[in-house]
Amino acid sequence: MLSLIGAALLGVPMLLSTGIFDTTGSVAKGILVDTRQIQPGHYQSIEYAGREFWVYHWSAKDRRRGNVRDDRQAWSVLIPYEPYRGCRVHLQDNMSKAMRFVEPCFNAGFDVRGRRWPGTGVARQRDLPSLAYEWQNNHELLLQPGKTAKPE
């Protein structure tokens, strides 16, 4: 019994020294995305730890509808899967509509913030999950997996 306790006491520091449990790594820091290549009305797909994220740059119409003047606020980081049944959403082809994303399984629509469009889909559907982000160096977004964006 004492040998098991001794092995555990020696094994824990060895495991910690490997860096496997390092909280200062990329998961803690986040994912850095250069936004200079993402045109308004388009998104960049990011895959991280087996999950897909969309970094969507709002179009001029999106900004007017959302009453946003600052480019730093004209971004959404969404998980492009509807949370009710997991159906993948698509970017709306018709950019004149306020309903920016469409989910084909139940015909639900979502705005640029990922909120479900009233009267679309089924009652149990929720908004698209969105991630928190911070601005870095005036052109980079630091995505924070594990942190959801604050509702507006």
- The 10s digit of each residue's pLDDT in 14-26 is 333 333 333 344 4
Return the domain boundaries, the chain: 24-148
Q: What letter represents residue 48's amino acid?
A: Y
In this predicted structure, what is the pLDDT of residue 151?
54
- C-beta separation of 116 from 108 below 8 A: yes
Residue of 37 and 16 predicted with greater confidence: 37
**What whole-number distance in Å separates Cα of residue 56 and Cα of residue 53?**
9
Residue 116 pLDDT grade (very low, low, confident, very high; cuts 50, 70, 90): very high
Q: How many residues does the chain have?
A: 152
Other beta carbons less than 10 A from residue 71's beta carbon = 15
Domain 24-148 in CATH 2.60.120.260? The answer is: no
| Whole-number Å distance between alpha carbons of 58 and 43 | 9
